[in-house]
Amino acid sequence: MLYALLALMSPLWSEPRDRTNPKGEATYASVSRFLLVVAAALFAVLSILLFDLHRDELHALGLVGGAEPISAVFMSP
């Protein structure tokens, strides 16, 4: 999933290339940088919402910590 996100964001820091075929027509439609930023932000929000939705299931599997208080003995120097 990280590789897909990096592939989407790679045009943000790469140089734009002029890709034309011999007849002078464009071979692809360029993607707006703003559209990529919005897509990445929506992806992050969706990930947070899905994590929050399945928090109880993740807690049952032991993948997230609970709300148990930490003993003061472990917090002292």
- pLDDT of 17-62, one tens digit each? 555 555 655 555 567 888 888 999 999 999 999 988 988 888 788 7
Tokens 């109880």 belong to 56
The C-alpha atoms of residue 54 and residue 61 are separated, in whole angstroms, by 11
Contact in structure between 46 and 77 (CB atoms under 8 Å)? no
Q: Between helices 33-53 and 2-13, what is the axis angle to 10°? A: 160
Residue 77's pLDDT is what?
65
Q: Looking at the whole model, is its pTM more than 0.75?
A: no
